Amino acid sequence: MEFTKIENKRVNEEYYRLEHSSGLTVIVYPKKGFNSVYASIGTKFGSIYSRFTNNGREICVPDGTAHYLEHKLFESEDGDAFSKYAKTGASANAYTSFDMTCYLFSCTDKFRESLEILIDLIQTPYFTKETVAKEQGIIAQEIKMYDDSPDWRVMMNLFKGLYHHHPINIDIAGSVESIAEITPEILYECYNSYYNLHNMVMTVVGGVDPQEVRSIVDEKIRPSEKIDTQVLFPEEPYKVVRSYTEQVLPVAVPMFELGFKEDSGSRYATSRELIATSILMNAFVGESSELYRRLLDAKLVNAAFGHEYLEGLGYRSLIISGESRNPKAAAEMIDEAVRKLHKNGISEAEFENARKVVYGKMVAGFDYKSSLASELMNGEFTGRKLFDGIEAVADITLKDINERLEVQLDADNCCLSVVKGM
């Protein structure tokens, strides 16, 4: 198999995609004039994958296992991957989200050596009873740190208020109690189930030649046999758990997140649905929206005001967040505006202005290596291709936006999460 060139004339951008014989999907996005390279390898295995099947056999693992596995893969029999990266000068990291785990590095020199380290990292698991036990104290400290983080708590409290059973309401790192149950056998079970090359994607963005990447992959990657895995989720009701949740932490200004739960089903949102939501929210609560100006004038929010759409398998929520001296009053104003929005819809002028904003942000994103790599990887895992969004922005209509509104921003199915000072 050879690389397939994928291009978009509208933005004059292109990248190369290869379904390697090993099972690994390889995507290379050359950027002319860039001296640095950003590379990542990800697997579709995140914190919500706590119950799944492997070739029909059901497996349940402790909360926080995906994150724990991320930590442990940096260790091998011949040393720590960070020590190896120190010799190449690359800056390396990793993260676990609800839906995936990703290992990455950026470099300006010794790209081949750094990519070889990354490949070795994901192919050489080394878990012993002693090394796994050693990590429990480190991750326990990380869990306690997040327990004291207002940004993290306001978000996780929101998810607990929105979701009855879906594991998105459980901290990514798990709890001190749950990680104490993790064993080498559990880590190997998850590794063998999900660190399968057919379930993994490599993305390389920057000053790099696709054929150079291909030669390294050909040399270093060991083929793997495809495994049939299926993540399992409990049935999730449409209605939220509660409409309000509050926690006291040391913050100067109270923080809030107002989440509107949706009927998510068992599929990912399409690129067109995401674009419609992005245009809708930019028109409704974007920087140039009437609602944002009203909230500012009433001194109910400040510049730390924003919105995001969180979606994945079994969960979808629109979230409006910020800082406010009176979060309940801010939420009440937003609630009133939501009900008015459902009655009147988005105007033509609001639609056109928001569409230009969304298009501009998307075009600007092509200059950021890390965001490009992330979008490419997410696209492979969700079935959304990178340029689909650009095309959707170009031909989407006001009718599409108002139809999207019909299934979003249900004012009777939301939760307000607040973290306030002591």
Tell how strand 200-206 and strand 229-231 pair up: unpaired
User: Tens digit of pLDDT for each residue in 37-87?
Assistant: 999 999 999 999 999 999 889 999 999 999 999 999 998 888 789 999 999
**Predicted pLDDT at 350:** 96
Tell how strand 200-206 and strand 101-107 pair up: unpaired
**Predicted pLDDT at 381:** 96
DSSP codes joined into one string, 67-84: HHHHHHTTEETTEEHHHH
Percentage of the chain lying above the pLDDT 70 cut: 100
311 is catalytic: no
Tokens of 40: 């990542």
Q: Are 346 and 406 spatial neighbours (Cβ–Cβ below 8 Å)?
A: no
Tokens of 100: 């995936």
3-class secondary-structure state, position 355: helix
What does the CA dihedral 339, 344, 346, 347 come to, rounded to 10 degrees? -150
Residue 89 in this model has a pLDDT that exceeds 80: yes
Residue 224 in this model has a pLDDT that exceeds 90: no
Q: Are 158 and 321 spatial neighbours (Cβ–Cβ below 8 Å)?
A: no
pTM summary value:
0.94
Q: Domains in the chain, ordered, with CATH?
A: 4-231 (3.30.830.10), 244-420 (3.30.830.10)
Burial of 81 (0-12, 13-18, 19+ CB in 10 A): buried
DSSP codes joined into one string, 224-282: -----EEE------SS-S-SEEEEE-S-SS-EEEEEEE---TTSPPPHHHHHHHHHHHH
Tokens of 395: 């031909």
List CB contacts of 87: < 8 A, sequence separation 6 or more: 113
Residues 369 and 213: their CA atoms lie apart, in Å, by 16
Percentage of the chain lying above the pLDDT 90 cut: 94
pLDDT tier for residue 310 given thresholds of 50, 70 and 90: very high
Residue of 13, 70, 246, 290 marked active site: 70
Low-confidence winner among 40-44, 145-149, 336-340 (lowest mean pLDDT): 145-149
**Predicted pLDDT at 395:** 93
Question: Between 181 and 131, whose confidence is greater?
Answer: 181
Residue 376 in this model has a pLDDT that exceeds 80: yes
pLDDT tier for residue 173 given thresholds of 50, 70 and 90: very high
Q: What is the number of helices (H) and of strands (E) in the chain? A: 15, 17
**Predicted pLDDT at 366:** 93
pLDDT tier for residue 8 given thresholds of 50, 70 and 90: very high
What's at 122, amino acid-wise?
A: I
**Predicted pLDDT at 242:** 98
Residue 287 in this model has a pLDDT that exceeds 80: yes
